[in-house]
Amino acid sequence: MREMIRLEPVFQEMVWGGNRMKDYFGYNIPGDDTGEAWVVSAHPQGDCRIAEGSFAGKSLSWLWENHRELFGDAQGREFPLLVKFIDAKEDLSIQVHPDDAYAKEHENGARGKTECWYILDCAHDADIIVGHRAKNREEMRQLMEENRWEEFLKVRPIHPGDFFQIPPGTVHAIRKGTLLIEIQQNSAITYRMYDYGRMPGGKPRQLHQKQALDVVQCPYEEDMGERSVTHEAGYDKTFLVACPFYTVEKYDIRGTAKINQNHPFLIVSVIDGEGSIDGCAVKKGCCLILPDGYGTADLQGDFSIITAHI
């Protein structure tokens, strides 16, 4: 089908959320605690609607169920990926995600959660948590039980343009002052290890330390991967990551460029600037899907996109 699938975001209000997406993307956010915009999602907790075209008003999950040919007849009960923008006005909880095998056994057949982050903007002194320092599981248990989080956690300074792959079992936390795009498996399974003693509504949020102890990789093995950049006519392409669940790349369009869509589907998220794709105006915050068989897309302008495909 030679028709882009443009999607409307679903907003999620969070105890740690803010209001930066209003000015940064021009979104009509629901409030000053908007932590996430699920911009490509067929998850039951946030199922995006199609904004225009032949399937306007239908949900992405409906399209996956009824027109699988648009996705190259990809297998699976559910659309496999979820893309979101995250605005952390305050620190997120210290958390970890399970892999598919653990989630299937312990979470009623759910998917696990592999995810990755591309930092869009952050405070000049911002940092992030990825990984931990415990040498073995007993040391990990002791550090957690004694709330010695500063000793346990690996804190890393961040800058716009940094990228992190977060496999299941990786202790992590997005910290205050950070705006990023996240590409992940279509899953909402999170095991919260520590939440700074916050009491939203007068009650602490649930912790999942038993499950976390089951799934945390220990000792932590760092694998930051390697980027590669290629220069093509009208754009630079940066390879970010490839794993069993997704491949993620960044394109910086400068003028006129052609990109061939030869995957079962291609998710396109505009993260900076503005321009057009096949004559349709796009700007920072626009997210869409190029379906199977779309062919070559003509891009014009001065803008950057993050793409993801299975």
Q: Is the link from the previous residue into 219 a cis peptide, with omega within 30 of 0? A: yes
**192 carries an active-site annotation:** yes
Cα dihedral 228, 247, 27, 54, rounded to 10, equals 130
218: CB partners within 8 A, 6+ apart: 132, 134, 136, 137, 140
| CB-based burial, 24-40: b 16+ in 10 Å, e otherwise | ebebebeeebbbbbbbb
Q: Tokens for 187, please give them.
A: 């899953």
Distance CA 85, CA 83 (A): 7
Torsion sign over Cα 185, 29, 25, 267: positive
End-to-end CA separation in angstroms for the chain: 18
Catalytic choice (175, 192, 205, 254): 192
| Residues annotated as catalytic (active site), given as ranges | 192
